[in-house]
Amino acid sequence: MGRVVILLGAPGAGKGTQAAQLSKNLGLAHISTGDLFRENLKNNTPLGDQAREFMNSGRLVPDALVIEMLFDRVSKPDCEVGYLLDGFPRTIPQAAALEEALGTDADVVALSIEIRDAAIIERATGRLLCRGCTAIYHRTFSPPAQAGVCGECGGELFQREDDQEEVVAKRLNVYHAETAPLVEYYSDRDLLVGVNGEQAPDQVTEALLAGLSASCAADDRGSN
Ligand code: AP5
Ligand code: MG
Ligand code: ZN
């Protein structure tokens, strides 16, 4: 097992946007638990049926369901050299399960994309997603060249069910209660790199890559 990069951040912080860039740059599979659940919802699988109510109301899907889905996904061949996690772990028990599964085999780094609550509602409520691929747009901040059409695959753009303002507010509360403690969790283990998420997307990518290189250099020094 190679490198496991974890993206932490509030809803709308830019995890999916940055994961798409980092995945290309680092050659690691992009594993988004939100995308995996949305795929299950779309295909009306039993897992999708179990997750739907939680997602649409802005609550977390129970740990046992998420953990099983995640470990199943990362056991695929494209994750053998490592992977990039977007939206997992989201609770301390999820982080503990990952830590236990990885043991001392993997190089783990947690990148925290920092953003003020005040910026989040606007990001999430203006977001548009592609039905055909997982490309992410924003009505104001990164509009598609042609309204309603994905520039990557020509697919139709839509708004996520959980991106209505009341649900975003609920997701933000859940984030502070259940996910924000992971910043301290990874900081205590010396695995955390924090980056300012309120810059242009390209600048955030650069800062994340710089943070990753610095953390690798520190590891190399540590192992000498
Ligand atoms: P998930 O899909 O993971 O949603 P989330 O964490 O709430 O995060 P988002 O996808 O909303 O935001 P993002 O950080 O990816 O931002 P994005 O790049 O799109 O999870 C959905 C649900 O699934 C959860 O609520 C839960 O129910 C369930 N779930 C998933 N994982 C789970 C888990 N581990 N445990 C339990 N339940 C789980 O960017 C947002 C917008 O901002 C876009 O429009 C984008 O274009 C724009 N933008 C991005 N960067 C910038 C920038 N730098 N400047 C300006 N605009 C920007
Ligand atoms: Mg996302
Ligand atoms: Zn598309």
Separation of alpha carbons 130 and 118, rounded Å:
26
Q: Which residues pair with 29 in a beta bridge?
A: 83
Output the tens digit of pLDDT for each of the chain's 224 residues: 789 999 999 999 999 999 999 999 999 999 999 999 999 999 999 999 999 999 999 999 999 999 999 999 999 999 999 999 999 999 999 999 999 999 988 999 999 999 999 999 999 999 999 999 989 999 999 999 999 999 999 999 999 999 999 999 999 999 999 999 999 999 999 999 999 999 999 999 999 999 999 887 777 776 55
Task: Determine the pLDDT at residue 104.
Answer: 86
Separation of alpha carbons 155 and 152, rounded Å:
8
- Contact call for residues 29 and 78 (beta carbons, < 8 A): yes
DSSP 100-138: HHHTTSSEEEEEEEE--HHHHHHHHHTEEEESSS--EEE
Give distance in angstroms: CA of 213 to centre of ligand 3.
31
**Coil/strand/helix, residue 150:** coil
Nearest CA, atom 34, ligand 1: 88
Separation of alpha carbons 90 and 163, rounded Å:
18
Query: Which residues have a Cβ under 8 Å from the Cβ of 47 and sit 6 or more positions away?
Result: 37, 40, 65, 69
Which atom from ligand 1 is nearest to the alpha carbon of 54? 27
Decide the pairing of beta strands 29-32 and 82-86: parallel
Nearest CA, atom 52, ligand 1: 201
Residues making up the chain, counted from first to last: 224
Task: Determine the pLDDT at residue 221.
Answer: 73
Assess if CATH 3.40.50.300 describes domain 3-28+81-116+170-223: yes
For 92, the token pair is 């301390």
Which atom from ligand 1 is nearest to the alpha carbon of 13? 14
Task: Determine the pLDDT at residue 175.
Answer: 97
Which atom from ligand 1 is nearest to the alpha carbon of 70? 34
Residue 171 annotated to the active site: yes
DSSP 1-49: --EEEEEE--TTSSHHHHHHHHHHHHT-EEEEHHHHHHHHHHTT-HHHH
Separation of alpha carbons 222 and 224, rounded Å:
6
Q: For ligand 2, a single-atom ion, which residues have Cβ within 5 Å? A: 16
Which of 6, 33, 52, 98 has most ligand 1 atoms within 8 Å of its beta carbon, as the pocket-test mutant? 33
**Contact 164 CB / ligand 1 (< 6 Å):** no
Residue 36 neighbours by CB distance under 10 Å: 20
